[in-house]
Amino acid sequence: MTQPKEVETVTTELRESLARVGVVLPSLRPDPVSYEHRYLPPLVELGRCTMDVARRLARALDGAPPCPAEPAAHPRDTVAERLSVATAYVNARSRGERA
């Protein structure tokens, strides 16, 4: 499965799973910057929510089994690196270039 299709699928799966426990994250979507990036994996943007939604999410997670361990992140996969890449992407797009 290609990454753009995969991030759409994962986002849909998460939205449906959250709905089953009564949690709706209105801003849930594939992150548009990472979605188009060639080198970093796409991210799912969870967005903000009300305190009530945060409480329901916390309660739902309290009963959830632990997730399997994820592979170690690439050494360059840091917040600063992602911010740098996102900034470069936005700047390139504003100049009409394909990042």
Contact (CB, 8 A) for 17 and 53: no
pLDDT attached to residue 13: 93
Contact (CB, 8 A) for 34 and 13: no
Q: What is the pTM of this model?
A: 0.60
User: What's the CA gap between 82 and 91, in Å, rounded?
Assistant: 14
Smallest Cα–Cα separation from 49: which of 12, 22, 11, 20?
Answer: 22
Smallest Cα–Cα separation from 34: which of 94, 96, 88, 95?
Answer: 88
User: Which residue positions in the chain have pLDDT lower than 50?
Assistant: 1, 72
pLDDT attached to residue 1: 41
